[in-house]
Structure 1
Amino acid sequence: MEHTADRVAGLLKLLSTRQRLMTLCHLVEGEKSVGALCDAVGMKPPAMSQQLAILRREGAIAARRDGQTIYYSIVDEDVRQIMAFLYSTFCQDKTGA
Structure 2
Amino acid sequence: MLDTPSTEIADMKARVGEASAFLKTLSNPDRLMVACALVQGERSVRELEDLLGIRQPGLSQQIAGLREAGLIVGRKEGKQVFYRLADPRVETFIATMHALFCAPHAAETTR
| TM bracket, shorter-chain basis | 0.7 to 0.9
Instruction: For structure 2, list consecutive stretches of 5 or more residues without a partner in the other structure.
Output: 1-11, 106-111
Aligned match for 2:70, one of 53, 59, 62: 59
Percent identity for Structure 1 against Structure 2: 37
Aligned match for 2:40, one of 29, 37, 41: 29
Q: Match of 1:43, SS?
A: coil
Structure 1 pair 90–40 and aligned structure 2 pair: CA distance change class (3 A): farther
Instruction: Say which structure, 1 or 2, has more relative contact order (CA 8 Å, 6+ apart).
Output: 1
Q: Which amino acid aligns with 1:78?
A: R
- The answer on 1:19 being equivalent to 2:30 is yes
Deviation string 1:13-72 (CA, Å, 9 cap, x unpaired) is 011111001111100111010011111111111110110001000100000111111000
Q: Which amino acid aligns with 1:62?
A: V
Q: Match of 2:54, SS?
A: coil
Instruction: For structure 1, list consecutive stretches of 5 or more residues without a partner in the other structure.
Output: none
| More helix, by proportion | 2
Alignment of 1:40-79 (within 5 A): 40-79=51-90
Q: Which residue does the alignment assign to 1:39?
A: 50
Q: Match of 2:76, SS?
A: strand
